[in-house]
């Protein structure tokens, strides 16, 4: 597994979504359910739909009732996204379970899946910045500014890809080890969110 493959799957998901460009489009994941590719496609699809929900909710003309519905949908999407990231990390844990770690092995600041999460979001930024750079009804100044931002995003993709590939190589070689910490989101948990558990008590 290399970052090049992750990027390819993310780009495929983004292209598939934009065939209809509708947040209510049903996902048609082309990969077998038990595969890492399936999880990666799902991860980016969630990110892509949420990207557009975030656009919609910022419409100054949106009515309050619709905005609340979308906000709750975004909250649910965030939870789903976190769950899928943890599934991806579980896949890597299983993949590397036989690796014997070095006595001087170190842990990374983030797990492979959370680094891949950043790569998925970055691919969305690149796609939409390209759209803005090429938008014909935009000013030349706008397109030039977007082109400069796009160059930075592409550099970020290169650097992050190298870092992810190196991390996976280090884990495979036993030079680094990974742990998975559940994110323990509190806002959706009726026992942890005071607004929810106080209402339940009342």
- Residue 31: the pLDDT is 98
Distance between CA atoms of residues 156 and 4, nearest Å: 14
Block residue for tokens 């870092």? 163
Domain ranges of the chain: 3-186
For the segment 135-147, the average pLDDT, to the nearest whole number, is 97
- Residue 197: the pLDDT is 60
- Residue 83: the pLDDT is 94
- Residue 183: the pLDDT is 62
For the segment 157-174, the average pLDDT, to the nearest whole number, is 98
For the segment 152-159, the average pLDDT, to the nearest whole number, is 98
Residue 80 has pLDDT above 90, yes or no: yes
For the segment 96-119, the average pLDDT, to the nearest whole number, is 96
- Over residues 173-198, the pLDDT tens digits come to 999 999 887 765 555 666 656 665 67
Residue 78 has pLDDT above 80, yes or no: yes
- Residue 142: the pLDDT is 97
Residue 74 has pLDDT above 90, yes or no: yes
E strands, the chain, in order: 106-107, 176-177
Residue 98 has pLDDT above 60, yes or no: yes
- Residue 188: the pLDDT is 60
- Residue 180: the pLDDT is 81
Yes or no: say if 45 and 84 are a contact pair by the CB < 8 Å rule: no
- Residue 1: the pLDDT is 82
Task: With CA atoms as reference, report the closest residue to 46 among 21, 14, 15, 91.
Answer: 14
Residue 108, C-beta contacts closer than 8 angstroms, at least 6 positions apart: 167, 170, 176, 178
- Residue 84: the pLDDT is 96
- Over residues 42-63, the pLDDT tens digits come to 999 999 999 999 999 999 999 9
Yes or no: say if 115 and 163 are a contact pair by the CB < 8 Å rule: yes
């Amino acid at each position: 597994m290399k970052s090049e493959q992750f990027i390819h799957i993310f780009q495929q998901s983004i292209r598939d979504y934009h065939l209809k460009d509708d947040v209510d489009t049903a996902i048609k994941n082309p990969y077998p359910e038990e595969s890492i590719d399936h999880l990666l496609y799902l991860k980016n699809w969630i990110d892509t739909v949420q990207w557009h929900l975030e656009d919609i909710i910022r419409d100054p003309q949106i009515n309050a009732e619709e905005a609340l519905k979308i906000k709750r949908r975004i909250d649910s999407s965030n939870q789903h996204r976190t769950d899928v990231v943890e599934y991806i990390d579980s896949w890597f844990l299983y993949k590397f379970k036989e690796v014997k770690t070095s006595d001087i092995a170190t842990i990374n600041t983030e797990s492979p899946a959370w680094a891949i999460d950043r790569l998925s979001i970055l691919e969305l930024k690149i796609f939409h910045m390209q759209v803005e750079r090429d938008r014909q009804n935009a000013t030349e100044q706008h397109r030039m500014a977007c082109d400069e931002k796009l160059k930075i995003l592409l550099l970020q993709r290169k650097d992050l890809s190298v870092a992810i590939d190196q991390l996976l190589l280090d884990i495979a070689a036993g030079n680094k080890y990974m742990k998975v910490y559940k994110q323990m989101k509190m806002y959706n948990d009726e026992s942890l969110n005071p607004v929810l558990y106080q209402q339940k008590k009342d």
